[in-house]
Amino acid sequence: METLLEILKDIKPGVNFEEEKHLATGGILRSFDILSLIAEIGEEMDVEIPVENVTPEHFESLESIMALIEQSRE
């Protein structure tokens, strides 16, 4: 989870990702941010996120993004 947190902090500095629960629907992570995040997850964590899983609910919180990563590893 630390790697994911570092990626998020690089994309959007100043956001408390451990507390925030509405990253996508709250407008904190915008479309371009999510695309950048997916690319960085692929590069840094060697995980490919399937297109059908790129939905706002998967990018709402640190926990939901980590769950998506774990699901995509299976």
Q: What is the pLDDT of residue 28?
A: 97
Domain 2-73 has CATH 1.10.1200.10: yes
Phi, psi of 63 (to 5 degrees): -65, -40
Q: Let me know: does 66 contact 60? Beta carbons within 8 Å.
A: no
Enter the DSSP assignment of 26.
T
Q: Can you read off the two tokens belonging to residue 33?
A: 């941010």
pLDDT of residue 74: 84
Q: What are φ and ψ of residue 34, in 5° steps? A: -65, -40
Domain residue limits, the chain: 2-73
Tens-binned pLDDT, residue by residue, of the chain (74 aa): 999 999 999 999 999 999 999 999 999 999 999 999 999 999 999 999 999 999 999 999 999 999 999 999 98
